[in-house]
């Protein structure tokens, strides 16, 4: 079992412990809620079970089988094809930013790349970063590090968010030494 799959399985097990409900009970709760949108289901789980954003988000994806990696398998798409799906249409011009980040990160060492529906999660023992288009003109890099300090470029996120910080990029040239150092620190902490 890959480290990503093991981490995902551990997260689902921990959600059951935190909520005091079995996976079957959680699935029934989601399916009987009458809600359809992913965001509505996630908010309901956060509100009613006290789950954090990441746990609620993962649980909805798990039950609906809607995360990018599993959706890609159902559709018969490769990871590269999923990336093309993420950066299609008006977001096509943002793909060079993503490619530049991945080119530099390839020098860090081993890590798992888990494509999701609208972004790519980068993981070691835990997620250290995520990359994806936030709008048609901007890519956001989420960074998970407890040792970084926020600044105007490294924007702190609310507690319970999927990442501690976000950096907004509009050009490949913004993939600079400062950004890479932040991601490297998160990579090392996730090790």
Give the range of the structural domain holding residue 87, as residue numbers without chain letter: 79-189
- For residue 74, being part of any structural domain is answered with no
- For residue 42, being part of any structural domain is answered with yes
Residue 54: exposure state from Cβ atoms within 10 A (0-12, 13-18, ≥19): middle
The C-alpha atoms of residue 61 and residue 58 are separated, in whole angstroms, by 5
Residue 129: exposure state from Cβ atoms within 10 A (0-12, 13-18, ≥19): buried
According to the model, what pLDDT value does residue 64 have? 78
According to the model, what pLDDT value does residue 110 have? 85
Residues 99, 158, single domain; the answer is: yes
- Least confident piece of the model among 15-19, 35-39, 68-72, 122-126: 68-72
pTM above 0.75, yes or no: no
Residues 183, 122, single domain; the answer is: yes
The C-alpha atoms of residue 160 and residue 154 are separated, in whole angstroms, by 17
* CB contact set of 87 (below 8 Å; sequence gap of 6+): 94, 95, 98, 133
The last residue of a domain, from among 44, 66, 88: 66
- For residue 35, being part of any structural domain is answered with yes
Residues 91, 58, single domain; the answer is: no
- For residue 11, being part of any structural domain is answered with yes
Residues 62, 102, single domain; the answer is: no
The C-alpha atoms of residue 48 and residue 32 are separated, in whole angstroms, by 14
Residues 102, 47, single domain; the answer is: no
Residues 59, 108, single domain; the answer is: no
Residues 88, 127, single domain; the answer is: yes
**pLDDT tens-digit readout, 42-75:** 889 999 999 887 788 788 878 877 654 544 444 4
- For residue 73, being part of any structural domain is answered with no
According to the model, what pLDDT value does residue 74 have? 40
Average confidence score pLDDT of the chain: 85
Residues 182, 153, single domain; the answer is: yes
The last residue of a domain, from among 17, 36, 66: 66
What's the total number of domains in the chain?
2
Residue located via tokens 């970063």: 129
- For residue 136, being part of any structural domain is answered with yes
The C-alpha atoms of residue 60 and residue 152 are separated, in whole angstroms, by 32
């Amino acid at each position: 079992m890959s480290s990503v799959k093991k981490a995902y399985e551990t997260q689902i097990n921990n959600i059951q412990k935190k909520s005091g409900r079995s996976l079957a009970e959680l699935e029934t709760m989601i399916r009987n809620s009458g809600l359809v949108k992913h965001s509505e289901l996630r908010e309901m789980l956060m509100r009613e079970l006290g789950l954090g954003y990441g746990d609620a988000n993962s649980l909805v994806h798990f039950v609906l089988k809607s995360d990018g990696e599993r959706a890609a398998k159902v559709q018969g798409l490769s990871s590269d094809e999923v990336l093309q799906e993420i950066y299609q249409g008006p977001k096509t011009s943002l793909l060079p930013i993503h490619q530049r980040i991945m080119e530099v990160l390839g020098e860090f060492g081993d890590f798992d790349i888990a494509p999701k529906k609208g972004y790519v999660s980068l993981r070691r023992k835990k997620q250290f970063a995520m990359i994806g288009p936030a709008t048609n003109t901007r890519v956001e890099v989420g960074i998970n590090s407890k040792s970084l300090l926020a600044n105007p470029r490294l924007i702190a996120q609310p507690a319970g968010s999927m990442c501690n910080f976000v950096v907004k990029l509009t050009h490949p040239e913004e993939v600079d030494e400062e950004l890479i150092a932040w991601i490297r620190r998160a990579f090392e902490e996730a090790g």
